[in-house]
Chain A
């Protein structure tokens, strides 16, 4: 019983400890994608959510309702496709 409690406490502690860093990474990704979309001259405003499909492959949902697939193609170019 005590071992279970200790394990649960450890997991909760790890979760709480890791949450701020994950949130920071998510915010940085959203900011990065917003900048990339803006560089392409596409409307977005603010990226509110990101779905990561792979390495350097994201689907960004914007505050204005637009959604973009942002990824790195085989030629090393950043591609932004409206969905």
Chain B
């Protein structure tokens, strides 16, 4: 009761206080004896602010060295755990496909083609270890879902092994479909609760496919 009364009193005081506030009228400075042009002006007109300079286009740092190297060789994780994350993490799409910084129109077409060809190699290095760790630790996917995904990744890797061993008659194009579906499953589970990781997987999607679709790279990856 007491607190309610105090609260009511405070509210009443605030209301009275707010209603009692009157807008302050600006006090005119005393007029000097000399007549002023535009008598009512108090403050000199400020020069208009300089228009902001247009933002510089981002300079995409591109190195000439091939950055897509399987990080699997440097990982010390268990093969089963590695396969779960590495096959799941999709490679990054080549920036040649995405609109990059606008090239000057004066450049000859040959240089553009050379730049376009160099862009896939200038991708950020594929960090499979980091992706694997993040997938293991993400709270967006439950334990049984992670195990189920790992099962599907292992099945896909076995399909690739059988393909390269000549045990199954299929093509890489046909293997691409289950790979894409698996990536979509992972993304659908991550996109709402862990969008950062989902974006990382999208970015590395093509790089991982590059490893899977190359016999030598896949053999190196599978052996680690």
Contact = CB atoms under 8 A, between A and B. Distances in A.
Nearest to A33: B144
Q: Which label, helix, strand, loop or mixed, suits the secondary structure of the B interface?
A: helix
B189 A77 contact: no
B147 A39 contact: no
B148 A78 contact: yes
B142 A72 contact: no
A28 B142 contact: yes
B151 A36 contact: no
A35 B145 contact: yes
Interface residues of B, number: 12
Contacts of A31: 142
Interface in B129-186: 141-145, 147-149, 151-152, 185
Contacts of B142: 28-29, 31-33, 35-36
Contacts of B149: 39
A76 interface: yes
Interface of B: 141-145, 147-149, 151-152, 185, 189
Interface of A: 28-29, 31-33, 35-36, 39-40, 56, 70, 72, 76-78
Query: Shortest 10 CB-CB distances between A and B: which pairs?
Result: A32-B142, A78-B148, A35-B145, A36-B148, A39-B148, A36-B144, A77-B151, A78-B147, A32-B144, A36-B145
